[in-house]
Structure 1
Amino acid sequence: MVDGSTSAVVADDSHFMRSVISDILEEGGIEVATQARDGAEAVEAVRTHDPDVVTMDVEMPEMNGIEATERIMAEHPTPVVMLSAHTDENADVTFEALDKGAVDFFTKPGGEVSMEMSRLKDQLVDIVTSVADVDVTGGAAKNGAGGSTATAGTGTVSRKSTSTRSDAASDSTGVHDEREFVDNPTLLIGSSTGGPKMVETVMEELPTAADFRVLIVQHMPEGFTGRFAERIDARSDYEVREARDGARLAGGEAVVAAGDYHMAVKNYRNGRLRVKLNQDPPVNSVRPAVDVTMETAAETIDDPLVGVILTGMGGDGADGIRAIKGVGGHTIAQDEATSAVYGMPKRAVETGCVDDVLPIEGIAGGILDTITTEVTR
């Protein structure tokens, strides 16, 4: 760190991209300590320069970004932002890098790269600055804080259970409660920076017996939300898919808002809801926006609503939380200690409309408590 500014290591096998990224960061007030041509150089650069953050290319010779991230997290824990191209293959390895400890990712533009990177420079500076503040030394921010998540490629087989109206759930003392749930609840989850692992953690712990219709809005670009939905589907008992225009949702099912599309709740009848996708202008500078989904849900759904805001930068979701609370729904925000970036949850709490502020490991239980009608032992 130089003169109190944020310092970064820029790792990319392209000299051109290293230069473009370094110029953007330095223009944004971030000191570039050094550049690295591959993963091995990135690991050594982190050891030598002790930066606040690393921007890491996914595909590099000698040692790729996944291996480098794993080494850095094991030897010299430092926040890492992956820089990924818009391809299916890069989406897969980017999520694998998140499993290894990366905090978030930023997608490299296609086409005329220098012009596109210039257009996106404010976003890149914002995410690098935010990620640099994440504590990755032991606790809160990453690797499924407060809950375990399976690593990609473990060969784990997902079991999709049949939805019922009660659930045997164990509490922290190992005592099993027989829960009875209200009918036809809808759960809305919004997140951004550091969110993918947190969303997976919550969904892993959510039984289909609760019979939620789940709408997930994660700030994520086109080409990545489909893979994200597949990951949640493999790790939870819910049937999870990327949202499509006109998609209908019943109990035990979940959709992830598609990248670059707002997801609005179009109608709701007899416990089934339908979503509408649109490319209206960004809201809170993002598309999809959490506010769009939460506000339209509050306007349309007359059965129980639960709104949850997880880690992320910015203020998206605050108006949505206000709308859900306004129609009698229950609202939850992730606490600061377990949030990678306490931006979205903080803004939600500041509305005065959040019922519970919980650590990530308590959120699934908190969600279930909101729809539990009685507990017998």
Structure 2
Amino acid sequence: MVGSPRAVVADDSHFMRSVISDILEEGGIDVVAVAKDGREAVEAVTETDPDVVTMDVEMPEMNGIEATERIMSTTPTPILMLSAHTDENADVTFEALEKGAVDFFRKPGGEVSMEMSRLQDQLVEVVESVAAVDPTDSSDVASARTAGSGVGGSGGVTDGTAGADPAGSAAEAAATEYVDDPTVVIGSSTGGPTVVEQVLSDLPLAADLRVLVVQHMPGGFTGRFAERLDARSEYDVREAEDGARIGGGEALIAAGDYHMEVTGYRRGRLRVGLTQDPPVNNVRPAVDVTMETAAERITDPLAGVILTGMGEDGAAGIRAIHGAGGYTVAQDEATSAVFGMPKRAIETGCIDGVAPVNDVAAAVLDAFEVT
């Protein structure tokens, strides 16, 4: 992409189309077309060949998920979903991510113009990062999304090879001997939800992991995200609450707008606390907060994983886990929608392994195998 990103703005509200377009234009993004429904969005993408689409979830004629599916099948283009804070919109948003949308941004409520103004820098940054994604660049990303939605809790480790036998992989995992009381902390951002789903689906219950996930995601969506992960993996997954405890076979998802700290660890059970301390790396929840407190308090085997995302969150956390003797993995550039966080983590010199998304879980399991 040369020059300013070119965007199509799709929203059924004339007011929101104007507000979003003005914010993007002021941020240096060229809005080449607007659309009031999904059908117009598909036509606009075909006619203008933009670098990015901001897509409202609920629209007449054709909604955001249908438009996303149509665009990705005919004219693959990076799509950022704009979703209101409702349970129904959250469900549709995650479906759109499965259909190929890169990420989503929560639409403001209340005094829309005032809140949008407050969020304008963040929106421009996210749109720019999504515009930089090449949706046709890697079949690995598409296959990971497909596998992530289809594994459905088989627990088989995906190795990316055609014809892999999930049942055989599960049996192999069950026969493997793992270290006692292992914990893995996973951090991700832009492009992360489907990738986290893939990795968690690939972790077998036989490994008896304690799993902590920090996905940059606003409040109101992390609960639904936890429910989806719970349905798609062998692990008992829930949204973190202050004082929550987990043991082997359980996972916590950091709640939107709260840092998740590891506050205690004893005999294979860990406890977390939620805080609204100031953002770290301009985000809350921050991967660094969870990883650094995990490295400080967990005395049994520990691994840290950094997946796709923009920015540098997680780099300090990886350094802390490495310093505590833990194992560290970063997703590779080819399968990362945005190679920001993994790149920064790798640049610390504290990453033990770099892997495509289909091999991330296997890398973690290798570190926890008894040899």
**Conserved 8 A contact 1:8-1:53:** yes
* SS class of match (1:265): strand
Query: Who is 2:6 aligned against?
Result: 7
CA drift of 1:143 comes to: 3.9
Pick the aligned partner of 1:187 from 181, 184, 189: 184
CA drift of 1:150 comes to: 2.1
In 2, Cα distance between the equivalents of 1:35 and 1:205?
A: 40
1:119-155, Cα deviation, whole Å (9 max, x unpaired): 101111111101111111252574453760226xxxx
- Whether 1:208 and 2:205 are equivalent positions in the alignment is yes
**Conserved 8 A contact 1:142-1:194:** no
Query: Who is 1:97 aligned against?
Result: 96
The normalised TM-score by structure 2 is 0.94
Work out the percentage of aligned pairs sharing the same amino acid: 70
Residue correspondences, number: 362
The normalised TM-score by structure 1 is 0.92
Corresponding letter in the other structure for 1:267: G
In 1, Cα distance between the equivalents of 2:130 and 2:141?
A: 11
**Closer, same or farther: CA 248–237 of 1 in aligned 2, 3 Å:** same
In 1, Cα distance between the equivalents of 2:237 and 2:143?
A: 19
**Conserved 8 A contact 1:182-1:371:** yes
Query: Who is 2:41 aligned against?
Result: 42
* SS class of match (1:316): coil
- Whether 1:284 and 2:281 are equivalent positions in the alignment is yes
* SS class of match (1:120): helix
CA drift of 1:337 comes to: 0.5
- Whether 1:363 and 2:346 are equivalent positions in the alignment is no
CA drift of 1:158 comes to: 5.5
Query: Who is 1:309 aligned against?
Result: 306
- Whether 1:255 and 2:264 are equivalent positions in the alignment is no
Query: Who is 1:128 aligned against?
Result: 127
**Closer, same or farther: CA 121–325 of 1 in aligned 2, 3 Å:** same
**Conserved 8 A contact 1:54-1:78:** yes
In 1, Cα distance between the equivalents of 2:60 and 2:249?
A: 43
**Conserved 8 A contact 2:149-2:198:** no
In 2, Cα distance between the equivalents of 1:141 and 1:149?
A: 12
Corresponding letter in the other structure for 2:126: I
Query: Who is 2:315 aligned against?
Result: 318
In 1, Cα distance between the equivalents of 2:39 and 2:191?
A: 25
Query: Who is 2:338 aligned against?
Result: 341
CA drift of 1:195 comes to: 0.2
In 1, Cα distance between the equivalents of 2:325 and 2:304?
A: 11
Query: Who is 1:352 aligned against?
Result: 349
**Conserved 8 A contact 1:192-1:218:** yes
**CA-based RMSD:** 1.9
- For residues 145-156 of structure 1, what are the structure 2 equivalents within 5 Å? 145=144, 148-150=147-149
- Whether 1:88 and 2:87 are equivalent positions in the alignment is yes
Query: Who is 1:165 aligned against?
Result: none
In 2, Cα distance between the equivalents of 1:170 and 1:316?
A: 27
Query: Who is 2:117 aligned against?
Result: 118
In 1, Cα distance between the equivalents of 2:207 and 2:177?
A: 8
In 2, Cα distance between the equivalents of 1:215 and 1:140?
A: 28
Corresponding letter in the other structure for 2:44: A
Query: Which structure 1 segments of 5+ residues have no match?
Result: 162-167
Query: Which structure 2 segments of 5+ residues have no match?
Result: none
